[in-house]
Amino acid sequence: MKQAVKTDLFASKAPLEWATIANGQLYTAQIPIDASGQVVEGGIEAQARQTLDNLRHTIGAAGLTMGDVTQVLIYVTERSQLPVFNAVYAEYFEAPYPNRAAMIVAGLAREEMLCEVVAYAAVPAD
């Protein structure tokens, strides 16, 4: 049975939930938008920070911690953005780190977006 995680993130008009839980796993995708739904300015560092803040908020809304995150998929639009993203990422996670992959993509849903994150977290059994 799938259930939505209720967050305080911007309520998108798109048909989506910011996170769902099913089969003992949390599924989420996060983008660099603020509370008004606008993509934050300030380049890859500001966007990485906003994206990971949104992730941390969502994980917390599910009653989990960043330590429960098991896998992260990182999407950036330029290879040169990865070192900056990695530096910000290191502020949000501790060892043992989630498994992760990073992809360089031609573009994301909004032209001004430089990054996006897909993450999975283990949900403890009741």
Looking at residue 5, what DSSP letter applies? P
pLDDT in the model for residue 125: 83
27-75 per-position pLDDT tens digit: 999 999 999 999 999 999 999 999 999 999 999 999 999 999 999 999 9
CATH class of the domain at 3-122: alpha beta
pTM of the model: 0.97
Rounded CA-CA distance 59/42 in Å is: 25
Q: Of all residues in the chain, what percent carry a pLDDT higher than 90?
A: 94
Please state, as a whole number, how many other Cβ atoms lie within 10 Å of the Cβ of residue 36.
Answer: 6
pLDDT in the model for residue 99: 98
Check whether 116 has a pLDDT greater than 90: yes
Residue-range domain boundaries for the chain: 3-122
Helices (H), the chain: 43-61, 82-89
